Amino acid sequence: MDKDLPADPLLPRVCCLSGLLGSLLFLTGDMLWYGGWTSGAGFHSHAVMAQRPDAIIILAAALGPVAALFSAVGMGIFFLTLEPAGRRLAATAAALLAVMMLIGGAYHALYGCFGFTERIQDASIRQVLTAQVAALRDGVSYPMYAAGVVGTLLVYALALTRRTRFPRWLVLLLPTTLSEASTLFHAAFLTIPAPLGGWLLGGWINGSFVLFFAIATPVFWRLGAEGGT
């Protein structure tokens, strides 16, 4: 067997399919909360969530930790494909991205609380509780973002400067980078008309992970096929 190929031909496939499933579960949670046929400017996630039944809000929130487990396994693809550039560095990158996804499960679950706070009729109480939930969400987000940024930078460094199994063109679709487009180009997203504006603005972040793994799965499926020869 070629030393540049994974020892177990199933591992790349398991990681990619697990990552794809986790991403789809995260995206499903988003769409259950606030999916709708609105324009980008007309998209208001908290207001839409407040109109959802309690069971839907809870179900969508509960999908977060489950999705995070599958997504964390999916991050193993970075270890398998970047390993030729350095086993420890590749393991560190994959571990950091896995930590990001696991914390992301808690972040996702906490976001569901906005669906309940938005229903409070007293404006002053609603503002206080919404701010408190936002502070809790933000506190959880800091280690998530830190792990994601460092892990992503390691992926870039290894994939672009050393010989790996990771195609260099695929770094253009790294979901941790692609997902930031909705923040960097928020004004442009607001101009997207109905019926796609709300879907794209609300689902862009987790949709970026779906896109990455939907492309990575057939790309890295070949590793499994070659690994068994």
Measure the CA–CA gap between 207 and 202, rounded to whole angstroms: 9
pLDDT value of position 181: 87
Q: How many other C-beta atoms are found inside a 10 Å radius of the C-beta of residue 89?
A: 17
Q: Is the dihedral of CA 31, 32, 38, 39 positive or negative?
A: negative
Assign 127 a pLDDT band (cuts: 50, 70, 90): very high
Of 116, 76, 119, 115, nearest in space to 99 by CA: 76
Q: What beta strand segments (E) does the chain contain?
A: none
Residue 227: pLDDT above 90?
A: no
Residue 173: pLDDT above 60?
A: yes
Q: Tell me the pLDDT tens digit for each residue of 141-160.
A: 999 999 999 999 999 999 99
Q: How many other C-beta atoms are found inside a 10 Å radius of the C-beta of residue 120?
A: 15
> Considering the chain, what percentage of its residues have pLDDT values greater than 90?
86
Residue 5: pLDDT above 60?
A: no
Q: Tell me the pLDDT tens digit for each residue of 23-63.
A: 999 999 999 999 989 999 999 999 999 999 999 999 999 99
Residue 193: pLDDT above 80?
A: yes
Residue 185: pLDDT above 60?
A: yes
Of 211, 190, 214, nearest in space to 201 by CA: 190
pLDDT value of position 224: 52
Say if CB 68 and CB 150 are below 8 A apart.
no
Residue 226: pLDDT above 60?
A: no
